[in-house]
């Protein structure tokens, strides 16, 4: 089998049809302040920026604001604000010790003001509605308009919106001149979760929006670490993430993992790199969000920056993980 092709990397990608550009891989911070210590986060962020990374994705709901607080401290001491494209979210709030979705104008803008305070900045580059909520859609989207008009956010987007929700939101914003256009959506996407290809990606393409896949390694399962059991130091072994990993430990997922491992053996790279490259260069993808916890975990992604999967391998993985990717076949 031929080795993975090395190419001169295009370091940035445009977010849909907007003027926003980001690195073609992003850094997720969901574990910061919980499973990722502040010192480890510092090493990850430094390595990320040194390698040309710019997009960092966070949220008030991550460790109840601690992820944003850690990032804010790093912005003051370690990394220049101008080096980063900061994306955060709003709409998940804690009430009576439980997390709930509230996409009302008050809740969203309260989240945003809190994010700016924790991050120590006067604006975020991308502000996203974290999930579809029960507030009237026009009220939710009016909060995005206000954030852009006031300068608190440069661009606005969505997170975890399915196809019809994405289309309804983008259509509403286009209906009246002067509303802030939606530039992106982020949903789960990997060789173990290809549902986005059915409606989300076609909607994003139609409206000229970017796509940020979260959990591109199948919640860590595509690394191959769970092939013989659940490692003690893995997310699957923790009480708060066990539920998150378990859905991908069933027989169908194991078959995909084995196919990824065979491809990696033939290409002379790791299963992690195979799975990551498949997502990074899939049709419609802007930048996968990487949930690494240490600088050592970041290293294999950086090594893969000058690689691409042979087309026949990408298509074979399409077949084994759910069938042909119609967008790839049309390209």
Give 118-168 as a DSSP string: HHT-S-EEEEEE-S--SS-HHHHHHHHHHHHHTTSEEEEEEES--HHHHHH
Residues with catalytic function: 62
Give 230-289 as a DSSP string: --TTSGGGSTTTHHHHGGGSSHHHHHHHHHHHHHHHHHTS-HHHHHHHHHHTSTT---PE
Tens-level pLDDT at each residue, the chain (331 residues): 444 444 434 589 999 999 999 999 999 999 999 999 999 999 999 999 999 999 999 999 999 999 999 999 999 999 999 999 999 999 998 777 788 999 999 999 999 999 999 999 999 999 999 999 999 999 999 999 999 999 999 999 999 999 999 999 999 999 999 999 999 999 999 999 999 999 999 999 999 999 999 999 999 999 999 887 776 666 655 666 777 788 899 999 999 999 999 999 999 999 999 999 999 999 999 999 999 999 999 999 999 999 999 999 999 999 999 999 999 988 6
- Measured CA to CA, the distance from residue 269 to residue 274 in angstroms comes to 7
What pTM was estimated for this model as a whole?
0.93
Q: And the tokens for 241?
A: 């993430």
Domain range 13-219+282-307, CATH architecture: Alpha-Beta Barrel (3.20)
Per-domain residue ranges for the chain?
Answer: 13-219+282-307
- Measured CA to CA, the distance from residue 83 to residue 85 in angstroms comes to 7
Q: What is the dihedral of CA 186, 301, 51, 59, to 10 degrees?
A: 30
Longest dimension (CA), the chain: 56
146 CB burial (10 A radius; 0-12, 13-18, 19+): middle
Q: What does the DSSP 8-state code read for residue 188?
A: B
Across the chain, how many H-helices and E-strands are there?
A: 12, 14
Q: And the tokens for 103?
A: 């996409």
Q: Are 4 and 144 in contact (CB under 8 A)?
A: no
Q: Give the other-Cβ count within 10 Å of 302's Cβ.
A: 16
């Amino acid at each position: 089998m031929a080795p993975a092709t090395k190419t001169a990397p295009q370091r940035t990608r445009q977010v849909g049809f907007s003027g926003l550009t980001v690195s073609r891989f992003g850094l997720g911070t969901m574990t910061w302040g919980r499973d990722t210590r502040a010192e480890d986060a510092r090493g990850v962020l430094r390595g990320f920026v040194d390698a040309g990374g710019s997009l960092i994705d966070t949220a008030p709901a991550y460790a109840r604001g601690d992820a944003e607080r850690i990032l804010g401290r790093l912005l003051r001491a370690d990394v220049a604000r101008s080096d980063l494209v900061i994306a955060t979210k709003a709409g998940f709030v804690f009430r009576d010790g439980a997390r709930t979705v509230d996409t009302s104008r008050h809740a969203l803008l309260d989240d945003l003001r809190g994010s700016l305070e924790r991050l120590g900045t006067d604006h975020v580059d991308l502000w996203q509605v974290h999930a579809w909520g029960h507030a009237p859609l026009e009220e939710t989207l009016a909060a995005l308009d206000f954030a852009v008009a006031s300068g608190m956010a440069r661009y606005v987007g969505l997170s975890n919106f399915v196809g019809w929700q994405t289309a309804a939101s983008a259509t509403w914003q286009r209906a009246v001149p002067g509303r802030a256009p939606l530039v992106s959506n982020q949903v789960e996407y990997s060789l173990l979760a290809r549902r986005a290809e059915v409606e989300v990606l076609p909607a994003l393409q139609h409206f000229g929006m970017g796509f940020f896949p979260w959990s591109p390694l199948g919640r860590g399962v595509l690394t191959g670490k769970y092939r013989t059991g659940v490692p003690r130091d893995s997310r699957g072994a923790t009480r708060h993430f066990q539920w998150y990993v378990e859905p991908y430990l069933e027989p169908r997922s194991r078959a995909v993992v084995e196919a990824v491992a065979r491809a990696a053996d033939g290409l002379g790279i790791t299963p992690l790199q195979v799975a990551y490259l498949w997502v990074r260069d899939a049709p419609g993808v802007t930048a996968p969000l990487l949930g690494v916890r240490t600088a050592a975990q970041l290293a294999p992604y950086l090594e893969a920056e000058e690689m691409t999967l042979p087309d026949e391998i990408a298509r074979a993985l399409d077949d084994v993980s759910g069938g042909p990717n119609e967008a790839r076949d049309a390209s």
